[in-house]
Amino acid sequence: MNQTFTKFGKLYSLIFTVAVLALQTPTRLTAQEKSATRGAAGLQVLYDFSEQKGNIIHDRSGVGAPLNLKIENEKGVRRTHGALQITGKTLILTDKAASRLSEAIKRSGEVSIEAWVTPSDLGLSGPARMVTISKDSSQRNITLGQDKDKFDVRLRTTKTTTNGTPSTSTPSKAVKKKLTHLVYTRQRSGQARLYVNGKRTVDKKVAGTLENWNPTFRLALGNELSKDRPWKGTFHLVAVYSRALTPKQVQVNFRAGPDAKTTGGPAIASKSPQEEFFETKVAEVLVNHCFECHDSASKKGKLDLSRKLTALAGGESGKVIVPGKSSESLLWEQITSGDMPPAGTPLTDKEKSILKKWIDTGAVYSTERIDPVLYAHGVGDSTLWVQRLTVPEYIETVRSTVGVDIEKEARALLPPDLRADGFSNTAYNLNVDLKHVNAYSQLAEKIVSKMDVLKFAARFSKSKKLSTDDTMREFVESMGAWIFRGPLDGREERTYSGIATTVASAGGDYEEAVSFIIEAMLQSPRFIYRIESQQGDGSQWPVDGYELASRMSYIIWGGPPDQKLLNAAKAGDLYDLENVEKQIQRMLEDPRAIEHSTMFITEWLNLGQLDDLSPSAKRFPNWEAALADDMREETLAFFKDVVWDQKRPLADLMNAQVTYATPRLAKHYGLKPKGEGLERYDVSSVPFRGGLMTQGSILTVGGDDASMVTRGLYVLHGVLRGTVNDPPPGLDTTPVPSKPGLSHRGSAEKRISNVSCGGCHKKFEPLAFGLEKFDGLGTFRNNDEHGNVLREDGEILFPGEAKPVKYATSAELMNLLAGSERVQKSLTWKVTQFALGRPLVAADAQTIEKIHKSAQKEGGTYAALITSIVMSDLVQMTKTEQAE
Amino acid sequence: MKKTNISRRTMLKGVGAATIGLPLLEEMLVSTASAAAKTDVPVRAFNVFFGLGIPSPLQTEGFDGVLEPLKPLGDKLLIMRNVDQVRCDESGINAHYDGAAGAFTAEPPDGEAKSGGPSIDQVIRESHYPKGLPKGMVSTLIGGTFFRRSRVGRYVHSYNMNGTVAATIQEKPRDLFDRVFGYISLGGDDTDVRRRRLKRSVLDSVVDDYKFYTGANSPLGAASKSRVADHLDRIREFEQRAFALKNTAEGAPGLPPRSNVAHGGQADPGGEGIDMKLEDLRTEWRLMADLYALAIQMDRVRFGSLTFLAAGERLRVTGDYKYDGRLIYKFNDEKDLRKSGSGGCSHEWWHQFNEKKKNEQLRAHAHMKMQEVAYFLSRLDDADSKEANGKSILENSLITISTESGDGRHNDVKRELSGIFHAITGANDRFKTGQIMDIGAEGLDVYNTMLGAFGTKKRMGPEDRESNRIEKILA
């Protein structure tokens, strides 16, 4: 390589330092620039031609199984270190299909081809193939070629031909017999660009998606697979990416030159390695060993390590962290000397090395504040689980897909989904038992029996032919794409159209065949599960259009995409964020969005517990079971009112001065009953009502005794996302009953002042002080059954804050909650968790912070939050696993 | 070849160990015992079909050519050449399909899933068992190994009087076993059994789909795969419970192993053909042949058909084919044809047939199929198949051996349809055997002559057609 590079070195001049964009020819690189490394985000194959002998060109990408190239006719090439010159007839190709490469590109919807080349013949046409993934002269996925003095790229999409035409060409005179850096990029949105020596020469749209890429094609250099489009010139470097390199990345690679090292690995890094290290390693050590004394609340030595600003500013002894220099950092000195931590478990050697490495690599503190809740149980398990449809999702999916209401049967037959991490749509917990399989089978039959099968089938095919040689396969393809929420592959078409032939062979007719096909599809993995591609290179990959459509619809509607959304996915429109946002707005206006949002509130507040409410009849002789239903309806109606009718910020759920009650519930609450059903009540003149926490659905969580411990923990975990250690083993947690002279508040204060208990109890019991005047069923009173005078004043310590805030009344507590950024963020976290169907982990924190800020900027409403979530990387991207 | 030894002896041995009084097994014992007590033998008729026929010029070579494997049974067969089937021609469809559909029905197909008329075995069944078969017997057993499945006539060869299929074809050895031994049909009313078969087919498709998502090409990550694998396990448990054999007993043979060849939709990727190892194919064939023969020997079935490949089958076969200790051919269709996809399938050897050339690969394929057909026939001629009259089931039954066009040039309908290989057994001395006969008559007349020999009143073909009795086939 060096020899060749030197040969062209004279071409490099200092012009480069003046204006990179103006470059027409490469320039000499400065030492600093020359040491620059090439970016490798999305790299799939890399050939640097470093071998001087042999007929193999090794793939140096380090991604997956190497796709080495073989030179068919060695006499047709001349190899030097770092270059391969084509001098005669030859073909350089992979010895197998470039499936890994094509699949990765097909999946991402994006592609870049980068080549450092020196053309030697300006008369070539065809175009002459420089880099191609193709089968022959008329079938390809992509080809970078030369057509006389133009560079030309043919890209197969659903809107171009199988030959990739119309192509994208540079203007004339782009090809010169000089060392040239060429980059073609094509984004998911269709935006295609061709850069020559760092300069963008073409910028156009190539519509369609890459779904029709053929993974059986090989990758070849210097000629077409059919050997009839030879190229002449020298290759210095060839790289293919499953990403559209950004203009900046193109510049970096151009500047780096053809012999630069490639770094950064294949992953597309949404975070720097330092940020990742801080979030997944450093923060956990700080939380577990330092925060007891050095968080915002304790701040010993005036050092608060829980916040970026204060941590880097230091304490009363000055700066404790000197980025890049652990030896000069007091923090490190105190740890190595053993002075810190003064008590508790000392740091392990591994933990020490983490902190040292952190400081020495720049002490990147990637978040404004470390939230201890993220590390309460380690950094969290981010295992990727396929999501089975929950029971409500199954019901809605059946309804939307085939127009059958199967709710009654499904709820009777399917086992209920169990809650995990606060929600019952948590993917890892959505397992399957024999009862599910039996239920899916029975339900499929029942669903089909309720359908007008022929009418349904007519949506997808006018033909009623059973033969797979005629229209059955096309019919299955069309109907399947609707039922499966995305296109079928050949395997699936064969599987399901095969049922038609089986039915035919049994003497059955078209209707019977369609019925059985639907029955099978309703039990298939692509119906029961939200199947997504999770294979990749271990990094975050964009989801494809159909996967995104399903993510959007299940997040917003709890059901499948409608035809408009599927059409958008098919057209590739969802690769454009503007279109995604338009779709979100459209979907939020659909009544299904409202219904599904009530699932969130139901899950978040665990309203299902009301089904099991059975208060002591002796203690509450006036209780009737219907009140539990009324309480649930109250909360749901209240939620719809605040969130959808008034479109208020979500945090206003804490103090909105309105509620809904049946006459029965109004009487229970001490309100003047009105109407006959659920009625809206303005409670602005009722000082003790107003906000979720004052509703029976929440107040009943404390049981008959209105336990302050239970209520306090409910607020701490559910509303503030706070953490508290588990009670010591063997502790009697039986609630202490109130008695004359000792109210619940009195018992709580005793616990808080107790040395053994107070450390934890002070974090959550005061949160329930403001609720003491509500009995176990939510009735307001000023004295308990023993005549003790009840109080509603207290104080609240928001997690992460230094000092508690006092409140005098229940209403003031509700206002504090509504105005708290912590509560607002908690709502963001809860909605996000529900949307994703998985517990959130430390690695999500940065993205959720962005979601939160974005949503707050737009008013902090549910709609704004959902929009921010869907637009975020948490929905647009997916973690992948490295292929085995 | 993996051979599962299933015979009447082993079956009865299993039965012997079972508790007395189990309905299925008891009935089987009674059935065979009563058959043995009678001096006459039951009327039976079966069709054996093989896909991709034998070009008529090769039929003239007798047992020296591709028919060699039939030679040991030659004295029990009547091979009929030059049977005119031109009336079966359906415009627009080549002779692969209508040739197959017409064999022993004498009618062109009626659409995708019907025949133009009944098959000969069903006419005889209707005539001899107008009130149905003895209680508990499978009225018609249709089994077979086939892959191309776009039209039913390619692989089903037993049709009711109205042209509909006489029974659901069992394409997996397990299904065939279950059909015969696992569930007792109450005679003619097969409605419930049929539904069970279709439901099972649905479940099989679902299982295939779940298997994909747990396999090497699954797009899922490890945890997700394990979840789907759990689901698949539950489905299999469900399958066992929902479709487990009924009325079987401890000691009776278990289900045959799952086969290694593709079934259902996976078996036919849009007519493009599939790769096939010779060993897998023959293992499947042998298992089906054993099970079908066992069903006949146990007198569980008296009518039906067994298929060895669909008409116009497309397979890319690989593997060494040996016969009688000598290597006949090393199959590698794709390599020999130098084409992939449908162009690399053995079917192409038929398209390339030229009587002036060696046709080496076509011969080898045809020879191999004849060996498999001969194997099945020989199972009905072995020690387990001796009947009260001292003859074998093969000799006592009507077994028609049919195929499709053997001339893939598709440029002369008459030549193709009149050259379709035909063979029959003696049917308890009703027909001549031990000959290769040049018929020179229309198939319809041959078939109706056969029906006449069985004493059936019903005749095939148009009612107003003047019938010609083909005396020379009669014993």
Show which of A256, A291, A313 is a domain's final residue: A256
A499·B205 Cβ contact <8 A: yes
Instruction: Say if residue A702 is in the same domain as residue A742.
Output: yes
Instruction: Say if residue A102 is in the same domain as residue A237.
Output: yes
Instruction: Say if residue A173 is in the same domain as residue A212.
Output: yes
For residue B247, pLDDT over 70 is answered with: no
Instruction: Say if residue A701 is in the same domain as residue A738.
Output: yes
Least confident residue range of A141-150, B71-80, B225-234: B225-234
Phi, psi of A768 (to 5 degrees): -100, -5
Mean pLDDT to the nearest integer, A335-340 = 88
Torsion-angle region of A804 (φ positive above 0: left; ψ -120 to 50: alpha; else: beta): beta
For residue B249, pLDDT over 80 is answered with: no
Instruction: Say if residue A669 is in the same domain as residue A713.
Output: yes
Instruction: Say if residue A87 is in the same domain as residue A190.
Output: yes
For residue B190, pLDDT over 50 is answered with: no
A56 located within any domain: yes
Considering only residues B74 and A733, tell me which one the structure prediction assigns the higher pLDDT: B74
For residue B38, pLDDT over 70 is answered with: no
Q: Which two tokens stand for residue B60?
A: 């003239």
For residue B362, pLDDT over 60 is answered with: yes
At B22, the pLDDT band (50, 70, 90 cuts) reads very low
pLDDT in tens, A343-377: 777 889 999 999 999 999 999 998 888 888 888 66
**Residue in this structure with the two tokens 């020469």, named with its chain if needed:** A201
A840 located within any domain: no
CA distance A320 to A333: 9
For residue A178, pLDDT over 90 is answered with: yes
- Number of structural domains in chain A: 4
pTM above 0.80, yes or no: no
- Pick among B110, B220, B313 to test the A interface (most A CBs inside 10 A): B220
Instruction: Say if residue A119 is in the same domain as residue A59.
Output: yes
What are the chain B neighbours of A518 within 8 Å (beta carbons)? none
Kindly report the nearest CA distance between residue A512 and chain B, in angstroms: 10
A498·B205 Cβ contact <8 A: yes
Instruction: Pinpoint the alpha helices (H) of A19-157.
Output: 31-34, 99-108
**A650-662 burial, b if ≥16 CB within 10 A, otherwise e?**
bbbbbbbbbbbbb
Domains defined along chain B, listed by start? 44-183+259-473 (3.40.720.10)
pLDDT of residue A822: 94
Show which of A202, A224, A256 is a domain's final residue: A256
Closest CA to B182 of B234, B173, B198, B145: B173
At A211, the pLDDT band (50, 70, 90 cuts) reads confident
A594 located within any domain: no
Number of helices (H) and strands (E), helices first, in chain B?
Answer: 15, 10
pLDDT in tens, A41-98: 678 899 999 888 889 999 988 777 789 999 998 899 999 888 999 998 899 999 889 9
Instruction: Say if residue A346 is in the same domain as residue A278.
Output: yes
Instruction: Say if residue A667 is in the same domain as residue A790.
Output: yes
Domain that holds residue A747: 604-821
- The total of other beta-carbon atoms located within 10 Å of residue A87's CB is 14
Least confident residue range of A17-26, A448-457, A649-658, B390-399: A17-26
Closest Cα in chain A to B226: A385
Closest CB to A436 among B113, B220, B234: B234
pLDDT of residue A880: 85
Considering only residues 505 to 544 of chain A, which have any Cβ-Cβ distance to chain B shorter than 8 Å?
505-509, 512, 516, 519-520, 523-526, 528-529, 531-535
* Pair B114, B152: CB distance under 8 Å: yes
Length of chain B: 475
A588 located within any domain: no
pLDDT of residue A295: 85
A565 located within any domain: no
Considering only residues A135 and A470, tell me which one the structure prediction assigns the higher pLDDT: A135
A614 located within any domain: yes
A567 located within any domain: no
**Residue in this structure with the two tokens 């085939």, named with its chain if needed:** A402
For residue B468, pLDDT over 90 is answered with: yes
Kindly report the nearest CA distance between residue B72 and chain A, in angstroms: 34
Instruction: Say if residue A406 is in the same domain as residue A347.
Output: no
A384·B221 Cβ contact <8 A: yes
* CATH number of A98's domain: 2.60.120.200
At A820, the pLDDT band (50, 70, 90 cuts) reads very high
pLDDT of residue B471: 95
Considering only residues A208 and B258, tell me which one the structure prediction assigns the higher pLDDT: A208
Q: Which two tokens stand for residue B424?
A: 């029959």
For residue A10, pLDDT over 50 is answered with: no
Residues of chain A with pLDDT > 70, as a percent, come to 92
Q: Kindly state the helix (H) or strand (E) to which residue B369 belongs, with its residue range.
A: helix B360-379
For residue A36, pLDDT over 60 is answered with: no
What are the chain A neighbours of B119 within 8 Å (beta carbons)? none
CA distance A142 to A160: 11
Kindly report the nearest CA distance between residue B197 and chain A, in angstroms: 9
Instruction: Say if residue A665 is in the same domain as residue A700.
Output: yes
Phi, psi of A661 (to 5 degrees): -150, 150
A432·B267 Cβ contact <8 A: no
Mean pLDDT to the nearest integer, A557-575 = 91
Least confident residue range of A228-242, A722-736, B315-329: A722-736
pLDDT of residue A176: 94
B266·A516 Cβ contact <8 A: no
B205·A496 Cβ contact <8 A: yes
Instruction: Say if residue A37 is in the same domain as residue A167.
Output: yes
Considering only residues 357 to 386 of chain A, which have any Cβ-Cβ distance to chain B shorter than 8 Å?
383-386
Mean pLDDT to the nearest integer, A714-723 = 90
For residue B12, pLDDT over 50 is answered with: no
What are the chain A neighbours of B243 within 8 Å (beta carbons)? none
Residue B423, beta-bridge partner list: B79, B401
At B186, the pLDDT band (50, 70, 90 cuts) reads very low
pLDDT in tens, B411-427: 777 878 888 899 999 99
A637 located within any domain: yes
Torsion-angle region of B346 (φ positive above 0: left; ψ -120 to 50: alpha; else: beta): alpha
CA distance A658 to A674: 14
* CA distance readout (Å), B154 to A493, B52, B100: 20, 10, 6
pLDDT in tens, B200-230: 888 889 999 999 999 888 889 998 998 999 8
What are the chain A neighbours of B264 within 8 Å (beta carbons)? 495, 498-499, 502
pLDDT in tens, A516-545: 999 999 999 999 999 998 987 777 777 888
Closest CB to B152 among A505, A512, A534: A505
- Pick among B98, B198, B199, B263 to test the A interface (most A CBs inside 10 A): B198
pLDDT in tens, A249-302: 888 889 888 877 655 433 334 567 788 889 888 998 998 888 878 888 778 899
ipTM score over 0.90, yes or no: no
pLDDT in tens, B147-179: 988 788 899 999 988 888 888 788 989 888 877
Least confident residue range of A383-397, A727-741, B213-227, B459-473: A727-741
CA distance B334 to B338: 6
Closest CB to A432 among B194, B203, B230: B230
